[in-house]
């Protein structure tokens, strides 16, 4: 059992937030709404989260620094959100759920899916 999982149950956490910062992603993937939708679908299946409603994907940003797709997917235990920055080919993804999932699985899958050169992960247990 991972140390995060032990801490989650030992503290009787209400939820887990994992933030995944990806650097140097494949530019074609982060600019493709269908690929982003596929990522969300596959991630939900991988971490056993039930999607609630349609995945919302919007391409916006007047400021070139932040322009790119944003995604929101409600899940029965909370939500998945992310933003993909075209200028830097970076991505910032958050997964929040009151149902436990393994953050390391999310990070490994996400890094591989977007072909990121580097990744940083942070987590917060909510009580």
Domain boundaries, the chain: 3-8+24-126
Strand partners, 68: 60
Confidence (pLDDT) at 66? 87
Q: How far is CA 116 from CA 16, 48, 73, 106, 121, in A?
A: 23, 23, 22, 13, 13
What pTM does this model have? 0.95
Provide CB contacts within 8 A for 8, sequence distance 6+: 16, 100, 125
Tell me if 125 sits within 8 A of 12, measured CB to CB. Answer: no
Confidence (pLDDT) at 61? 84
Confidence (pLDDT) at 92? 98
- CATH 3.40.50.1700 for domain 3-8+24-126, yes or no, is no
Give me the average pLDDT of each 10-residue run along the chain (127 residues).
95 97 98 98 98 97 90 97 98 98 98 98 97
Q: Which of 73, 114, 69, 71 shows the shortest CA–CA distance to 97?
A: 73
Confidence (pLDDT) at 1? 80
Confidence (pLDDT) at 2? 92
């Amino acid at each position: 059992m991972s140390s995060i999982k032990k801490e989650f149950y030992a503290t009787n956490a209400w939820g887990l937030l994992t933030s995944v910062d990806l650097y140097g992603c494949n530019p074609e993937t982060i600019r493709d709404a269908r690929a982003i939708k596929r990522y969300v679908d596959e991630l939900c299946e991988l971490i056993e989260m039930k999607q609630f409603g349609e995945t919302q994907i919007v391409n916006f940003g007047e400021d070139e620094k932040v322009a790119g797709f944003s995604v929101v997917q409600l899940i029965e235990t909370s939500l998945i959100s992310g933003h993909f920055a075209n200028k830097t080919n970076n991505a910032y993804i958050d997964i929040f759920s009151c149902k436990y999932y393994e953050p390391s699985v999310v990070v490994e899958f996400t890094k591989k899916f977007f072909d990121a050169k580097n990744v940083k992960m942070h987590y917060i247990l909510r009580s």
